[in-house]
Amino acid sequence: MKVLNLLRPLAFCAIVIGENLGAFKIDFKVLRGNDKRDLFLSDERPYIMKRDSSEMELQNRQTFYLANIKIGSNEDEVGVLVDTGSSDLWVMSHDLNCNRSSSSTSTQASPSSTSTMIASFGFEEDILNSHNEKRAIHGVQSLEWNETLVEYAADYAASSFSCDNVTLVHSNGPYGENLAAGYSGGYDPVDAWYDEIELYDFNSPGFNKSTGHFTQLVWKSTSQLGCARVICDNAWGQYTICEYSNTTGNVLGTNSETGLSYFAENVLKPLVNSIN
């Protein structure tokens, strides 16, 4: 989440959210509020934010709603401006305190160290679809989106990742996990993980650091997925973290009932009709 300088005395903040992202919850049961909309839009200054390296002016957006947004244990009624032409929701509030534990903004406030906890309707859909497209190549079940995993990923990213010092350190939590930095959107990081298939030996199945992302991605018995991302205002661009459960994947050892290693049972060769 990124605190923006709007050149005004009131404390404002701005975030981009989808329907939900981990600790972020938004409720649209409270609908349009014309009085607050008019007050919001009557300010002399337009609200300027950075979006995809271009400026975005929000003062005259066409669609305005009131909504309840909850970040952790804090809840506030906010104005929501829908960006026409995309599915992003730009949320502005006089009262919402952006500088809380879910924020990953650096205290140094330099461009290279600023990060934004960000989600949109597109990211979650894209990263789930990209996982399932790759898994379909191997004839294994599709994953389901799991909000518990999203919250875990978002919390770990917010507390442990720094755009100033980009290192991919696993949480060592109860779930399977894939990390990436420098890949944008929901498809690019998954493509990078899947490309490790070129190094995997299906005739000698097992774990290897050079193929661990791939085997995690296509693990047959895994059924749940949740991901989060951090956007860095530097060359790294995007940090992506995905969590996997039921089962975690990359399980060592042998199944006593079948006599096969868990890798042999869960990392399957591509289907013949999936190979170009």
> 130 — phi, psi (to 5°)?
-65, -40
Q: Tell me: the pLDDT tens digits for 223-252?
A: 999 999 888 878 888 899 999 999 899 999
Question: How are beta strands 144-145 and 224-232 bridged, if at all?
Answer: parallel
Choose one of 103, 134, 154: the last residue of a domain: 103
Q: Which amino acid is at 226?
A: G
Tell me what the mean pLDDT of segment 89-104 comes to: 37
Q: Is the pLDDT of residue 191 over 80?
A: yes
Q: Is 113 inside a domain boundary?
A: no
Give the count of domains, the chain. 2
As given in the structure block, the two tokens for residue 64 are 């305005």
Place of tokens 């981009």: 16
Nearest to 69 by CA among 100, 47, 41: 100
CB count within 10 Å of CB 60 equals 8
Q: Is 264 inside a domain boundary?
A: yes
Q: Is 114 inside a domain boundary?
A: no
Q: Is 92 inside a domain boundary?
A: yes
Q: What percentage of the chain exceeds 90 in pLDDT? A: 43
Whether the bond between 116 and the residue before it is cis, its omega within 30 degrees of 0, is no
Q: Is 115 inside a domain boundary?
A: no
More confident residue, 223 or 114: 223
Our measurement of the distance from residue 266's CA atom to the centroid of its chain's CA atoms, rounded to an integer in Å, reads: 26
| pLDDT confidence band for 136 (50 / 70 / 90) | very high
Query: What is the pLDDT, as a whole number, of residue 43?
Result: 46
Do residues 46 and 148 both lie within one domain? Answer: no
Our measurement of the distance from residue 6's CA atom to the centroid of its chain's CA atoms, rounded to an integer in Å, reads: 26
Do residues 200 and 134 both lie within one domain? Answer: yes
Do residues 126 and 97 both lie within one domain? Answer: no
Q: What H or E segment, with its residue span, contains residue 190?
A: helix 188-194
SS3 92: strand
Q: Is 213 inside a domain boundary?
A: yes
Question: How are beta strands 238-245 and 144-145 bridged, if at all?
Answer: unpaired
d(CA 14, CA 189): 26
Query: What is the pLDDT, as a whole number, of residue 52?
Result: 38
Q: Tell me: the pLDDT tens digits for 207-223?
A: 999 999 999 999 999 99
CATH number reported for the structural domain that contains residue 211 in this entry: 3.40.33.10
Do residues 129 and 60 both lie within one domain? Answer: no
Tell me what the mean pLDDT of segment 44-53 comes to: 38
Q: Is 1 inside a domain boundary?
A: no
Query: What is the pLDDT, as a whole number, of residue 146?
Result: 94
Choose one of 71, 103, 135: the last residue of a domain: 103
Task: Give the range of the structural domain holding residue 181, as residue numbers without chain letter.
Answer: 121-274
Do residues 57 and 159 both lie within one domain? Answer: no
Q: How far is CA 166 from CA 26, 79, 162, 230, 232, in A?
A: 30, 34, 6, 11, 10
Q: Which amino acid is at 236?
A: W
